[in-house]
Amino acid sequence: MSFQHIMGQDIAKKMLQSALRNHTVNHAYVFSGPPGSGQMKMAQTFAKALFCEQRTDDACGECLSCRKVEHGNHPDLHIVEPDGATIKIDQIRGLQRIFSYRSESSNPKVYIIQRADTMTVQAANSLLKFLEEPQLPVVGILISENGQALLPTIQSRTQIVPFHALHPEVMMQELIGEGYTAGLVRSVVYIASGLESCREILQQNWFAEIRNVVLQLVKESMSRGNSSIILAQQKIFKTGLSEHLDILFHLFHLWFKDMLHFRYGRHESIVFIDHLESVSKLAITRSTEQWVSYMDLAATCRKKLRFNVNGQLCVEQLLIGLSDTSGSITG
């Protein structure tokens, strides 16, 4: 894996490769951006490039050092992940002990801290001392969804490398090329922020199931009223799908948005394109304002879910709202 094999993130690549080429590598970086946008893959590639025996601004992927990183057994690369919900001070102290010994080569030692924003205050303060007084040539990479969530003193001693969610069309082409079902891909690229996250979801059977449940519930709630609540109990809350309500509400939101895309003739933007016939029939049964209100309702239910409101109540609220035909087109 080299920088050229990482899709998108041109700003991050340019920053890191320029530092390698000009021998201006910083002692610490923060890779800040949405989960799944490739920070970990970029961090590992950067580490390989630092260790690479053949190239100066990229990883050859073939030398012994590159292969050791790929196999997870390079002695000068250490990865720290949260222990439970947080990264604790003992983990940072352990890292410091390891890095008190000299490298076997002339290259710097490298550490990668995943979800660095989960560090406890004590762990963050311990890392701060490490950043201020590294005993050996060291390069640190802190991966965070939001670099601004880190201590200001840590931010001031690191270089921020921005990451952005890949464009859905770019991810769609790649995933369909890998053999994933086009209909599922068109949905997942608007839910997940990176290829790895998309692949992880697509490889789970529940995603196709929950997408089908959304289609059933929409049709049921808009034709027979409260019978959709019974269907939801059977299809969601008596199965394992209740663990994925956030994605369920997100899919509802995408479906309602498709209604607007159809009404305005933007067929190329329709996510549920494999159900275009249903979209075309349903889109004209409600006004534009009603579809917008449904989108708002789905977003509100999703937000309530994140604030620990009972999931079943959130789903019932949405379905009852959909059965309200006060905004439907008549005559």
Output the pLDDT for position 326: 45
pLDDT tens-digit readout, 12-26: 999 999 999 999 999
**Tokens, residue 131:** 């950043």
290 and 219 housed in the same domain? yes
- 174 pLDDT higher than 60: yes
pLDDT tens-digit readout, 236-274: 999 989 999 999 999 999 999 999 999 999 999 999 999
- 329 pLDDT higher than 50: no
List the domain range (segments joined by +) for residue 253.
204-325
- 328 pLDDT higher than 50: no
Q: Which residues of 21-90 form beta strands (DSSP E)?
A: 28-32, 77-80
**Domain membership flag for residue 57:** yes
Specify the CATH number for the domain of residue 306: 1.20.272
122 and 233 housed in the same domain? no
101 and 229 housed in the same domain? no
pLDDT bucket at 325, cuts 50 / 70 / 90: low
pLDDT tens-digit readout, 45-94: 999 999 999 998 999 999 999 999 999 999 999 999 999 999 999 999 99
**Domain membership flag for residue 185:** no
Average pLDDT over residues 169-181: 93
131 and 224 housed in the same domain? no
pLDDT bucket at 36, cuts 50 / 70 / 90: confident
Domain final residue, candidates 147, 162, 177: 162
146 and 242 housed in the same domain? no
Domain final residue, candidates 162, 196, 229: 162
Q: By C-alpha distance, which of 189, 192, 182, 246 is closest to 214?
A: 246
107 and 216 housed in the same domain? no
> What does the alpha-carbon distance between residue 327 and residue 237 come to, in Å, rounded to a whole number?
29
> What does the alpha-carbon distance between residue 314 and residue 110 come to, in Å, rounded to a whole number?
46
CB 60 within 8 A of CB 6: no
Other beta carbons less than 10 A from residue 268's beta carbon: 8
CB 98 within 8 A of CB 90: no
pTM for this model (two decimals): 0.73
What total number of domains does the chain contain? 2
Domain final residue, candidates 162, 194, 229: 162
